[in-house]
Amino acid sequence: MVEIPAPKPTDLLSIGEVVERTGVAASALHFYERKGLIHPERTTGGTRLYPRHVERRIAIIQVAKRLGIPLSEVAEQFATLPSDRMPSLRDWARLNERWRARLRARQLELERLQEEMTQCIGCGCVSLNACLVMNPGDALGADGAGARRLMSIEDEVGRAADQDVEEEPVSEPLPGGRRRSA
């Protein structure tokens, strides 16, 4: 029986192997490369070969995308990590700590938004002084009572109807469901 040696962190992977192992399309890998998120090596023929540790970076990118973290933030954080070797546990711990604070701030922001949405009674009247979502501080209340945004739409519709516009003929229904042109 032939024993296959265990992969080394310094092993290089073809783009096809990275695609297969991560489930990320080759075009996405090229995009990440252009953004400076991953750094393949090149053969003399120009073929991309990826260090095995790029799989961890790609996994972090995928998690960041799911959490809504922009790639610019990912790049900012990756700039603090070594690009030529596998990041150490200490490197990952520093990255994790920075992201934990950002994620907690996002979590608090989402909780605040959820609380504001709970207060919304959904009536469409955006001039209520309690509406923190559509009318913070009752800014529309200064324009008068009622659904100010809806009133402006109704005013536009009324002005258009008042103009002398020729309307398209409407067909009249006949017995049996047939229609006759006017």
User: Per-residue pLDDT for 167 more than 50?
Assistant: no
Lowest mean pLDDT among 74-83, 136-145, 166-175: 166-175
3-state secondary structure of 49: strand
Sign of torsion, CA 164 168 174 177? negative
- How confident is the model at residue 25, as a pLDDT? 95
- How confident is the model at residue 130, as a pLDDT? 57
The chain-wide mean pLDDT, for the chain, equals 75
Nearest of 112, 119, 77, 111 to residue 94 by alpha carbon: 77
The model's confidence at residue 168, banded by pLDDT at 50, 70 and 90, is very low
First CA to last CA distance, the chain = 90
Retrieve residue 61's tokens: 């990118």
pLDDT digits (tens, 9 = 90+) for 106-120: 889 888 888 766 666
pLDDT digits (tens, 9 = 90+) for 32-44: 999 999 989 888 8
CB 82 within 8 A of CB 74: no
**pTM (two decimals):** 0.56
Task: Give the mean model confidence (pLDDT) for residues 163-181.
Answer: 47
User: Per-residue pLDDT for 75 more than 50?
Assistant: yes
